[in-house]
């Protein structure tokens, strides 16, 4: 009976699909119009249902008839045990069994990951400086770091598979997952560790489609022992790439290969991602990296300076750790500028230098909403002097910037009209009202005025309405 089904299915699908997906199936029994087939895994079952359901239905119709049913017996893999989605099959019965590797033998190695084509050496794309040793431990990263160590000591053998590290920008995701890779390479030189950004993975996939080499692409990834994928949030909305990644993920996972992922947000907050992929992400361990606390920031700064053989006073250290709280990348940026400043000016890194360096960096980054900054933005934009804004000149080219500045102060601050007038050489509030009205009207009638004002607002990350 199953052989009859197979011959019907064979006519429907490609030889490759047939071999991959139907030859591993074992018919178990036929009873009460129900044919039971054994499939190697949950993933395999889902794949069949998703891709070949109509061919299966057709085969059952032709052999058993419309009342015929198909039942899957799944060899339990290490995956989740959630009930399969309802389709025309009956509920599946699970049979305990060890997981079974059904991947094809890796075919010819694909060239796109080679360091250089002559040596044919497989490149891991690991950056040597990202080690555990340099990854300072703190409350903010303790779980992720410990889990990373565990995975590095026993890749593929812990229940942390996949290991998913998530956290905001500059909190050390890339560093940590690279450190895991480096540690594994160190301990198990024979393992093929591969680090790839999601962006690169996507580009390779798109190229593979273009060059008709999806098989080579997939086969390449199936050879990997430890797959490290950075920033998986970029898979959002890329359905085809997700599908292929899902496929690779399952094959690797099933063969006991280690998968390590990073994301800028928790799996539950990843939008535009297929549920089945999200559920895979949660199979192993999910650990987040948080903003480092004060002590950890101190330790990180100390370590960075120490690595460069630089000593600084605790006072300066404390000042830096207090001033930069958001993320480690920023902290590093400041230390680097500070060291550059110190070597340029041949000065010691003292509190004064730290303060001035920090000030220049912060000013560059974001404009704080203050009268001073707003007036500065306007004078800069129109190339006029502050004294012109505040002066009495009635020439049009001076009046316009002056009115824009008043308009911005009115819109962006809570200052009373009288105080705004005060900033323009003590003008009274009716002058300010007039300016605000003129600019509002001009914005409605003149696109270029609207554009100018919007551009100025944007410097403060705000929108003009
Ligand atoms: P993400 O990938 O989360 O955006 P990165 O891993 O690129 O962040 O980290 C930004 C910088 O901060 C890197 O240079 C990294 O070495 C450093 N860094 C982050 N966390 C730590 C830490 N705990 N100890 C030492 N350096 C860190
Ligand atoms: Mg990163």
pLDDT at 24: 81
pLDDT at 242: 96
Task: For residues 440-459, give the mean pLDDT.
Answer: 88
The more confidently predicted of residues 422 and 154 is: 154
Task: For residues 52-69, give the mean pLDDT.
Answer: 87
Query: CA 170 to CA 137: how far, in whole Å?
Result: 15
Over residues 380-408, the pLDDT tens digits come to 888 888 888 888 888 888 999 999 999 99
Task: For residues 69-93, give the mean pLDDT.
Answer: 50
Please report which confidence band the pLDDT of residue 103 belongs to, taking 50, 70 and 90 as the band edges.
very low
Is domain 371-458 annotated with CATH 1.10.1750.10? yes
pLDDT at 97: 34
For residue 449, CA distances in Å to 387, 396, 431, 434, 441 come to 23, 14, 20, 16, 10
The DSSP call for residue 132 is S
If you average pLDDT over every residue of the chain, what do you get?
83
The architecture that CATH gives domain 2-95 is: 2-Layer Sandwich (3.30)
Under CATH, which number does the domain 125-289 receive?
3.40.50.300
Q: Counting atoms of ligand 1 from 1, which one is nearest the CA of 264? A: 3
Rounded to two decimals, the ipTM of the complex is: 0.99
The percentage of the chain sitting over the pLDDT mark of 70, rounded to a whole number, equals 86
For atom 26 of ligand 1, the residue with the nearest CA is 135
Cβ partners under 8 Å of residue 125, min gap 6: 194, 195, 196
For ligand 1, pick from 232, 329, 331 the residue to mutate: most ligand atoms within 8 Å of CB. 329
Regarding pTM above 0.80, the answer is no
Over residues 282-327, the pLDDT tens digits come to 899 999 999 999 999 999 999 988 887 888 889 999 999 988 877 8
Is domain 294-365 annotated with CATH 3.40.50.1450? no
Judge if the beta carbon of residue 231 lies within 6 A of ligand 1. no
pLDDT at 305: 87
How many angstroms is it from 362 CA to the middle of ligand 1? Answer: 20
Least Cα distance to 378 among 459, 456, 285 occurs for 456
Over residues 185-232, the pLDDT tens digits come to 999 999 999 999 999 999 999 999 998 989 989 999 999 999 999 999
Cβ partners under 8 Å of residue 291, min gap 6: 140, 168, 171, 325, 326, 327
**What string of DSSP letters covers 277-295?**
HHHHHTSSEEEEE----HH
pLDDT at 461: 55
Binding residues for ATP are 170, 172-174
The percentage of the chain sitting over the pLDDT mark of 90, rounded to a whole number, equals 46
Domain parsing of the chain, residue ranges:
2-95, 125-289, 294-365, 371-458
The more confidently predicted of residues 404 and 362 is: 404
pLDDT at 464 over 50: no
Over residues 252-279, the pLDDT tens digits come to 999 999 999 999 999 989 989 999 999 9
């Amino acid at each position: 009976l199953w052989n009859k089904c197979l011959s019907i299915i064979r006519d429907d699908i490609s030889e490759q699909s047939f071999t991959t997906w139907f030859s591993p199936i074992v018919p178990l029994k036929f009873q009460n119009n129900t044919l039971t087939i054994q499939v190697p895994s949950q993933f395999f079952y889902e794949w069949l249902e998703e891709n070949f359901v109509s061919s299966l239905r057709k085969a059952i119709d032709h052999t058993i008839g419309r009342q015929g049913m198909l039942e899957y017996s799944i060899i339990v893999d290490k995956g989740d045990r959630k009930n399969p989605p309802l389709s025309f099959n009956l509920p599946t019965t699970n049979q305990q069994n060890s997981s079974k590797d059904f991947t094809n033998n890796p075919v010819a190695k694909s060239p796109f990951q080679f360091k250089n084509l002559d040596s044919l050496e497989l490149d891991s794309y690991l950056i040597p400086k990202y080690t555990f040793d340099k990854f300072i431990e703190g409350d903010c990263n303790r779980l992720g770091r410990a889990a990373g160590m565990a995975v590095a000591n026993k890749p593929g053998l812990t229940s942390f598979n996949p290991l998913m590290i998530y956290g905001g920008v500059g909190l050390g995701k890339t560093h940590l997952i690279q450190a895991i890779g480096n540690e594994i390479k160190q301990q198990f030189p024979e393992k093929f560790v591969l680090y790839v950004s999601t962006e690169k993975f996507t580009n390779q996939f798109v190229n593979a489609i273009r060059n008709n080499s999806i098989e080579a692409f997939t086969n390449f990834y199936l050879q990997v022992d430890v797959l490290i994928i950075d920033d998986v949030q970029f898979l959002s909305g890329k359905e085809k790439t997700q599908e292929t990644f899902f496929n690779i993920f399952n094959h690797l996972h099933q063969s006991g290969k280690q998968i390590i992922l990073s994301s800028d947000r928790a799996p539950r907050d990843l939008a535009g991602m297929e549920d089945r992929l999200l559920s895979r992400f949660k199979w192993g361990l999910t650990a987040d990296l948080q903003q480092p606390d004060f002590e950890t920031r101190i330790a990180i700064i100390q370590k960075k300076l120490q690595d460069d053989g630089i000593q600084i006073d605790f006072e300066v250290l404390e000042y830096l750790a207090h001033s930069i709280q958001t993320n480690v990348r920023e902290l590093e940026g400041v230390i680097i500028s500070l060291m550059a400043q110190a070597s340029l000016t041949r000065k010691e890194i003292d509190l004064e230098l730290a303060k001035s360096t920090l000030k220049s960096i912060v000013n560059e980054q974001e404009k704080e909403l203050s009268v001073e900054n707003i007036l500065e933005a306007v004078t800069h934009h129109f190339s006029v002097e502050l004294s012109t804004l505040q002066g009495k000149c009635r020439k049009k080219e001076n009046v316009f910037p002056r009115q824009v500045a008043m308009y911005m102060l009115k819109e962006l601050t809570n200052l009373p009209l009288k105080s705004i007038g005060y900033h323009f050489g003590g003008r009274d509030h009716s002058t300010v009202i007039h300016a605000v009205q003129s600019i509002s009207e001009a914005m409605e009638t003149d696109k270029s005025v609207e554009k100018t004002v919007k551009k100025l607002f944007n410097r403060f990350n705000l929108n003009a309405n």
